[in-house]
A and B are shown apart, each in its own frame.
Chain A
């Protein structure tokens, strides 16, 4: 499902050149729940950004859901991204002037997936799946952090992407809510979703089937875990 070959990413900063990822090679299969762990600055978010196509590698190849992402132009990248990956951010990133339901409908609107008359129904179903159907007509600022993240997960699933990417999804949540979200992810993976999650959360290990450890932009450990 996901394949990285000798991927590097360097940034030019006022302080000089910074290497966020260095020669990373990695394969992730369909249905895996992979956590990417490491300290701040280890390259976790950069790795997810490359998988999502919101960043480009300086060197190497990135292949996600049968597409060589690193070769796509900006326009093609956007179109691919909407259908191939669903992204969950640490700070939710919901559009503040759209309701929860409308936020979930948005990816379908941009990508033209599903017939227009079916989108609302599908969005309601997704919100129900993540447990916040009763918040459908609310604006994000009226929702709790946990509710917002659930809406964000529903949005990420809107176009039925083969891959779900989550960048520190529990980083802004309390422990109970974090546990709820992780349980939600677990449920999705059990339904066949492929999930790659960058995380500091210790509890994530219990749900993951594999954990990849990064340090200074390199994979230092790739451990298969026994899932419950």
Chain B
């Protein structure tokens, strides 16, 4: 039978003897690994799913929109040496009737759904490809569509009447931003169905991929223009060219930024749990100093002693990792699914990569060993004579003259205050964990409030309740009058819309972006600008862009003059201002748009309702739709509140994750306080015995310990308040830049500060309960005989 040597028996029995402390160390490290491991797991899964999934879909390098794809066009482009694959398709805007109103639909048609090499789709359930008269819905649009397999979706295109299309399947297109985010129904139909809808069967898009997969966006754009020339030589009219950033999902940058920010918190949780582990290992070693002296006296070398305690730390860390890894895997996978879903990827069922588990095991073992290194090395090097004289009772630090100078303090309270500051390094570590926990907690709390405020600021710019799209376009007064005549409508305003591309110096075009054309002075739209100014009156060709658009088209800097192609015309515009990303891509004057395009008709309107009640608004929406349809218009509409809710709910879910981090740190901080107080009681066993001997009762001893803990807790609360300011700035800055392209201002909430005080007082009471009870159990006789 394997004989365990005496030194390792001692190690194992010491762990068992101090079960509570052993459990605390394991718990502290496990919490830190769970927090950091969850974020690491999420990042690893999302990165792999998105990278692999996106690449596997073979996304188009560029898309060229033409009037009609003709015979030989695909082969002609395939003949261009730098082009690998070519595929024809069509994307058209339609509308679907959902619960009495119309919602926008984007229908995708492919030359060949089954064998399409570009932008591969994945059939999730039901039939594939879409058959005649059938429709397959993209899974992220299911909620908006309100119809599932076996049901019908009533779809209309152009001037046609809505016809029922059988929903026969659900598919996923990872190249699309989620339909719920865009508030549009994405769906797939075949050419025959397009004919039934009255849209004809022609295709009008050519997608291609390049042979060289490492080309830059500009290099791809040049190839696209080569293809454009080839198409034009064959008599095609090219409408626009879209060249996405190669090899990158459109929202991948945002997601990486978010995950990196959360990773920062994961690392912070890990550091705080390491500090707690340091406190606990120090406590463990403080009670072992004399035994270390004895071991050295009987021949143990410093390295042998150090190995024993490093082994303890590593062993406890391994146990902590064994507990934490299943938890972090479960949490990480859930969160990965949520996060990947925001990019329209499916991470459900994704396995946790092996290296993530390995990293957590390694950190779990190494971290406590690192945390233990200072006290272990110090303890193992302590001279034997000094170690043998140690009985775990500390010499008192110099009593604070400041405390003594404060009048009106009772002796027990003074004792508590002095005790709290006796061991400054340990006090500092405990304060750091508690106050950082508070700062993150307050920061996350403030962030949620600030998300709502940022959404308010964005959506407050929209002084309307509903947007409408109509076809065919109408004159402004006619459209406004028709809408305004509906009961329940307070007022309406017609806006223009279109799309534009930046014409670059080399003659190539940037990617197309949407234009909203409004009367410059409009009661309906009052945005806050992040730079520059709003549009001027009259026909001046001024444009206000969003920060996100400016990121992808750097030429659109405030103050710059750019050439824009709008429809078939080219004109020069001046960028005068910048707005938050949530308010659309670009804004110009309605009159200026009409002057440039020569088209005085509009196809968009915004409507403000008289009644704020949801039921009344729903009814008014229905009436407006009916009224306009009865006048021969095709209509689709969406409510501003619905759009806001969809985005805000998902942002708040992400903020909730940060709140969870705050709670993790709070628990770590509470454990830190509990361990500090336990150690404090142990160190002052003789002192407590003396207090007993001079008449201190249970209540007084209990109070001394509780008050000492409370002093530390309240001090941490005071520190957390100023710490939450930079914490909030980091969170708001990162979050805001990721989602809104401008920092989200963090507004400290007094309610949160008060809540945190309550939480920290409660944590202190709980953390100090057991040490206080232990202190009351120390008898005078036992304490005075303590060695």
Contacts and interface: CB of A to CB of B under 8 A. Distances in A.
Q: Is the interface of B mostly helix, strand, loop or mixed?
A: helix
Chain B: interface size category? 20 to 34
Interface in B1-39: 3, 5-7, 9-10, 13-14, 17
A102 B385 contact: no
A155 B381 contact: no
A107 interface: yes
A87 interface: yes
A111 B383 CA distance: 19
A105 B294 CA distance: 14
Interface string B288-308: 001100111111111110000
B6 A109 contact: yes
A155 to B, nearest CB: 7
Contacts of A156: 298
Contact of B297 (A74, A87, A98, A109): A87
B299 A83 contact: yes
Given A106-B7, A110-B7, A82 B298 contact: yes
A107 B294 CA distance: 10
B17 A81 contact: no
A97 B13 contact: yes
Contact of A109 (B5, B291, B383): B5
B291 A111 contact: no
A106 B6 contact: yes
B388 interface: yes
A55 B382 CA distance: 11
B6 to A, nearest CB: 4
Contacts, number: 87
A211 interface: no
A205 B65 CA distance: 113
Contacts of A95: 10, 291, 294-295
Most buried by A among B10, B298, B383: B298
B446 to A, nearest CB: 49
Interface string A105-118: 11101110000110
| B299, B300, B384, B388: most-surrounded residue (chain A CB, <10 A) | B299
B304 A74 contact: no
B143 interface: no
Contacts of B298: 81-82, 87, 106-107, 110, 155-156, 158
A17 interface: no
A110 B388 contact: no
B787 interface: yes
| Size category, A interface | 35 or more
A49 B787 contact: no
B10 A93 contact: no
Contact of A98 (B9, B300, B302, B303): B9
A110 B304 contact: yes
A217 to B, nearest CB: 16
B299 A110 contact: yes
Contacts of B7: 106, 109-110
Nearest to A92: B294
A75 B302 contact: yes
Contacts of A93: 290, 294, 297, 388
A122 B290 CA distance: 26
Nearest to B18: A97
A102 to B, nearest CB: 4
A78 interface: yes
A94 B10 CA distance: 12
Interface in B728-787: 787
Contacts of B9: 97-98, 102
A49 B388 CA distance: 11
A110 B295 contact: yes
A79 B299 contact: yes
B22 to A, nearest CB: 13
Contacts of B787: 91
Given A55-B384, A55-B385, A75-B301, 11 more contacts: A54-B385, A75-B302, A79-B301, A81-B298, A97-B14, A98-B6, A106-B7, A109-B5, A109-B6, A110-B298, A159-B299
14 contacts: A54-B297, A54-B383, A54-B385, A55-B383, A55-B384, A78-B296, A87-B297, A93-B294, A97-B17, A98-B10, A106-B10, A106-B298, A109-B5, A159-B299
